[in-house]
A and B are shown apart, each in its own frame.
Chain A
């Protein structure tokens, strides 16, 4: 069962990446707000299911206690959605998903969780891969870029700002992961973090708290888009965003249960962690994004690092 669930998570998250990308048109300056609306709606529905049918108990205190982690996750995702307007998914996805490397370093610095040699190799591979990807992206000549984007549906210009968004996603998501591991700690860390995060939560209520916070952000985004900016929503333009939200939540659901099988958690994590590689494949097939062999080399190194970190995190 763990294998099927892992494959579902893999397909859902890579699908979410692709539909989010399709929904983030460069011409739509409010696309990130609309993505937050769509994901917030789907997460809100799932949270309602968990509370009313699943029987998860949720209080204001739980939502507030988990706020630092959920806020960082939501902020990072929003920035990731902004970035999708300016850069290929094939470049953005591996950078975004390398946040595990930074989270491992944060856990090492503040929680004294000493990673093993293989994890350090994973962190190094991710770091080198992302840096190489940035270098390749910035040093590519305009002619080479134009040539490889000939068949692409959207043309992108070389820009540091375009790279900045996935990098910010990576850093802020890593902070979220770090706060998450502190708030869900099983025993006291013995550091100042015990004072700063006094409430310890279980995984179930924490997940619902995150989804409800996302719903609240979705409502704020809806007020901004529909009320303040007076923008109209159309099925054709917003459909992919909603699909992105559904795939994101379904992937999260499958992920939790796939990792629940502790006997195969390492294998499940390795499969799921490689979803950004599948995102690159979907981008190549459906979005006609073509990269240079240097890009693909750097992406392969990054994905290898992500998979190593995924295995050892589980």
Chain B
């Protein structure tokens, strides 16, 4: 990948500076900005409840069936019968229950894992980050590392009530409007709107 020179504070037209904290990241997870994430956040608990219900229903059905341990061990049952009994009657409902419960906690588990990784790599929170936007490129600085890119790397730019959103590859970067220390969000949108597609 081409290495670009970092945008210096003198070259910067817009500067955004804020710090990631676990509370901020939790809040961002609770209030996603991408439609796909919003849809997943709605569907996930519904799927969780439905899977738990399916699991419980199957266990209830199993309880109603006549199959006992003696019958299960009965020599007349073939190996395949026993495997399918274990699979369908027991493992499937248990799997539904486990996945159903996980649906409620998976986001929290993922966030905790990434918070731990950040703590390991960047030290204790808060984790300051600075975005500097120059005439033809921009720099993202966090801890001791900086990454510079040209504007063509930004797929699109969007805006919500509280954030300016930069879509780079598959990621969406949020720039809180309160964090603009140089320039204003309106000026920034006009500046960037001339360089990259604006997504409403």
User: Which residues of A line the B interface, CB within 8 A?
Assistant: 64, 67-68, 71, 75, 79, 160-161, 164-165, 168, 172, 195-196, 198
Contacts and interface: CB of A to CB of B under 8 A. Distances in A.
B53 A71 contact: yes
Task: Tell me whether chain A's interface is mostly helix, strand or loop, or mixed.
Answer: helix
Interface string B45-58: 01001100100010
B76 interface: no
Given A68-B53, A75-B49, A79-B46, A198 B38 contact: no
A160 B35 contact: yes
B38 A196 contact: no
Interface residues of B, number: 12
Contacts of A64: 60
Contacts of B39: 160-161, 164
Contacts of B61: 195-196, 198
Contacts of A165: 42
Contacts of A67: 53, 57
Contacts of A164: 39, 42
B170 interface: no
B120 interface: no
B57 A168 contact: no
Contact of A198 (B42, B49, B64): B64
B180 to A, nearest CB: 24
Contacts of A168: 42, 46
A161 B38 contact: yes
Contacts of B38: 161
Given A68-B57, A79-B46, A160-B39, 13 more contacts: A68-B53, A71-B53, A75-B46, A75-B49, A160-B35, A161-B39, A161-B42, A164-B39, A165-B42, A168-B46, A196-B57, A196-B61, A198-B64
6 contacts: A64-B60, A161-B39, A161-B42, A165-B42, A196-B57, A198-B64
A228 B50 CA distance: 23
A99 to B, nearest CB: 16
Contacts of A198: 61, 64
